[in-house]
Amino acid sequence: VTQGVSFADLQAMKPVDAIFAVPVEGLAQMFVAVAAIEIYELTHKDGELKRDESVAPGLRPGGLTGDLGWNPLKFPVTERRQLVEIQNGRAAMFAISAWVAADTLPGSMPLPLPW
């Protein structure tokens, strides 16, 4: 880490403060690296560019989303199950937003936090 911030300094900070202490170039580097890996994995199969159902079942032409096929218990895939998965993802996003708000905005939680 550069600009006078060490890894020990980052460990001593609150999570949100630590993110803002990392230089913008470092954050951009992490974002670009992860985005490149994700896009490659979602668009290639056997080293070739493919943008159809051969990469992921449910992938629509021109899209980068779809069911990646991870179903080790072989549960039946129904429209209701797919809707439940989307709703669980949305609930998780709200939960993470609440954690960030509780950590960064004093008085944003109705009960005092134990930490």
Domain holding 52, by residue range, is 1-69
Q: Are residues 37 and 82 in the same domain?
A: no
Number of domains in the chain: 2
Round to whole Å and give the CA distance between 10 and 20: 10
pLDDT in tens, the chain (115 residues): 557 778 888 888 888 888 888 888 888 999 999 999 888 877 777 767 666 666 566 655 555 555 666 778 888 878 888 788 888 989 999 999 888 888 778 777 666 656 5
Round to whole Å and give the CA distance between 69 and 87: 19
Q: Are residues 41 and 20 in the same domain?
A: yes
Task: Give the model's pLDDT for residue 57.
Answer: 60
Q: Are residues 2 and 41 in the same domain?
A: yes
Q: Are residues 54 and 17 in the same domain?
A: yes
Indicate the residue type of 20.
Answer: F
Q: Are residues 47 and 4 in the same domain?
A: yes
Round to whole Å and give the CA distance between 88 and 27: 28
Task: Give the model's pLDDT for residue 63.
Answer: 53
- CA proximity to 43, closest of 24, 33, 56: 56
Q: Are residues 60 and 75 in the same domain?
A: no
- CA proximity to 19, closest of 107, 103, 93: 103
pTM for the whole thing? Answer: 0.47
Q: Are residues 53 and 24 in the same domain?
A: yes
